[in-house]
Amino acid sequence: MTPFESIQILQDKMNAAIIGQENIVERLIIGLLANGNLLVEGLPGLAKTRAVRAMADAIDSKFSRIQFTPDLLPSDVTGSENMYEENGEYKFRFEEGPIFGNIILADEINRAPAKVQAAMLEAMEERQVTVAGKTHVLPELFIVMATQNPVEQEGTYPLPEAQKDRFLMHVNITYPDKESEMEVIAMVRGERSGEKAEESEDILQDVIFAARDEIAKVKSSKTVIQYIVDLVFATRYPEKYDEKLASFIDVGVSPRASLGLDQCASVYAWLQGREHTTPEDVRAVVHDVLRHRITASYEAQSERVSNDDIIDIILNLVALPA
């Protein structure tokens, strides 16, 4: 079985577990194959946790769930040096925390204070943690999928811009349609009555690494790269495109956005069975890659213009390559 066929099976498994959220499943898989961290945002009860858990259940991997709370300590995430006795001598031994997994669910990440966020920053960017002056490398397959609730903001700590920039994509989960909602009810009733889903073998980690190797060979023409750069520069110098757009943006996106667009477009093209990217691949992922990186102005907020609205304006203003 090819890596492409195995990833299709993974996608089918996840879609069976999360009814009516095919777009979210696709985004989670893009993040996994692009080796990037995801910020998943949605109202309570929209299967954010279930989506991440469904991915972990389908892959031969170690799943860790960290429930973020205001009293959480960095050592609760990274682990700590603990003293133990051996042959009458007292020694220190590092005991790994939940961050030492393959798929990490950081639940309600915006409820943790700054010190915990700092520990997460090192893990997400450097793929390592430092405890008591010693560096400990995280597993080769490592992805953080963090959730946050957009409505309930009491007792939360807004994520620093530097940390938000570490997320490859910011994915929004919305309500399912009526048919999907009925299927959800039927599925949960079946689970309560003891019905078991058809079991199949887990996807091996080597399959994911093989898929990543294939994706690395997906080609992007100079035209596509130029389109990515044009979109990014429209966030930095919006006055060159439109005066109204300029009034909506305080700070444009960083070079990580360019790299993220290139990565995600390559994965998206590969998932469509192609060995090259197109401008349409870039447009398919641009909202998820730029959504959390644009700093909207007070005027945009007062006029209820969202970051998605700003991206739509940019897509209309930046010409598609001929």
Query: Within a domain: residue 213?
Result: no
Shared-domain flag, residues 119 and 243: no
Q: How far apart are CA 143 and CA 153, in angstroms?
A: 25
Q: Cβ(264)–Cβ(168) under 8 Å?
A: yes
Owning domain of residue 223: 219-317
Q: How far apart are CA 122 and CA 115, in angstroms?
A: 11
CA 135 to each of CA 80, 249, 313: distance values in angstroms, whole numbers, following the listed order: 12, 39, 45
CA 117 to each of CA 26, 94, 107, 242: distance values in angstroms, whole numbers, following the listed order: 27, 21, 13, 36
Answer yes or no: is pLDDT of 153 > 70. no
Structural domains of the chain, count: 2
Please report, for the domain that includes residue 117, its CATH number.
Answer: 3.40.50.300
User: What tokens does 20 get?
Assistant: 């009516």
Query: Within a domain: residue 214?
Result: no
Assign 3-class secondary structure to 278-302: CHHHHHHHHHHHHCCCCEECHHHHH
Question: Tens digits of per-residue pLDDT, 96-144?
Answer: 999 999 999 999 888 888 888 888 888 998 999 988 889 999 999 999 9
Helix (H, G, I), strand (E, B) or coil at 156: coil
Q: How far apart are CA 25 and CA 288, in angstroms?
A: 13
Please report, for the domain that includes residue 298, its CATH number.
Answer: 1.10.8.80
Answer yes or no: is pLDDT of 83 > 90. no
Query: Within a domain: residue 197?
Result: no
Shared-domain flag, residues 188 and 84: yes
Q: How far apart are CA 299 and CA 129, in angstroms?
A: 40
Q: Cβ(38)–Cβ(31) under 8 Å?
A: yes
Q: How far apart are CA 143 and CA 271, in angstroms?
A: 19
Report residue 227's pLDDT band, with 50, 70 and 90 as the boundaries.
very high
Answer yes or no: is pLDDT of 37 > 80. yes
Residue 255 C-alpha from the chain's centroid? 18
Report residue 164's pLDDT band, with 50, 70 and 90 as the boundaries.
confident
Query: Within a domain: residue 322?
Result: no
Shared-domain flag, residues 53 and 159: yes
Shared-domain flag, residues 118 and 245: no
Answer yes or no: is pLDDT of 161 > 90. no
User: What are the backbone angles phi and psi of residue 93, rounded to the nearest 5°?
Assistant: -135, 135
Q: What is the chain's Cα-based Rg?
A: 21
- Residues above pLDDT 70, as percent of the chain: 97
Q: Per-residue pLDDT averaged across 270-274, rounded?
A: 95
Whose CA is closest to 120, among 139, 98, 141?
A: 98
pLDDT of residue 262: 97
User: What tokens does 252 get?
Assistant: 């444009």
Query: Within a domain: residue 160?
Result: yes
Whose CA is closest to 28, among 46, 47, 14, 45?
A: 14
pLDDT of residue 312: 97
Shared-domain flag, residues 260 and 120: no
Answer yes or no: is pLDDT of 150 > 90. no
Q: Mean pLDDT lowest for which of 54-58, 90-94, 104-108, 206-210?
A: 90-94
Shared-domain flag, residues 109 and 238: no
Q: The whole model's pTM is what?
A: 0.89
Question: Tens digits of per-residue pLDDT, 7-21?
Answer: 999 999 888 888 878
pLDDT of residue 188: 80
Q: Cβ(238)–Cβ(246) under 8 Å?
A: yes
Q: Mean pLDDT lowest for which of 69-83, 91-105, 170-184, 193-207?
A: 193-207
Query: Within a domain: residue 63?
Result: yes
Question: Tens digits of per-residue pLDDT, 289-301?
Answer: 999 999 999 999 9
Shared-domain flag, residues 8 and 146: yes
Shared-domain flag, residues 53 and 170: yes
Q: Cβ(152)–Cβ(145) under 8 Å?
A: no
Shared-domain flag, residues 168 and 228: no
pLDDT of residue 91: 83
pLDDT of residue 152: 60
Q: How far apart are CA 138 and CA 254, in angstroms?
A: 26
Query: Within a domain: residue 274?
Result: yes
Shared-domain flag, residues 40 and 86: yes
pLDDT of residue 42: 80
Answer yes or no: is pLDDT of 211 > 70. yes
Shared-domain flag, residues 124 and 249: no
Query: Within a domain: residue 212?
Result: no
Whose CA is closest to 36, among 44, 46, 28?
A: 28
Q: Per-residue pLDDT averaged across 235-244, rounded?
A: 94
Shared-domain flag, residues 95 and 223: no
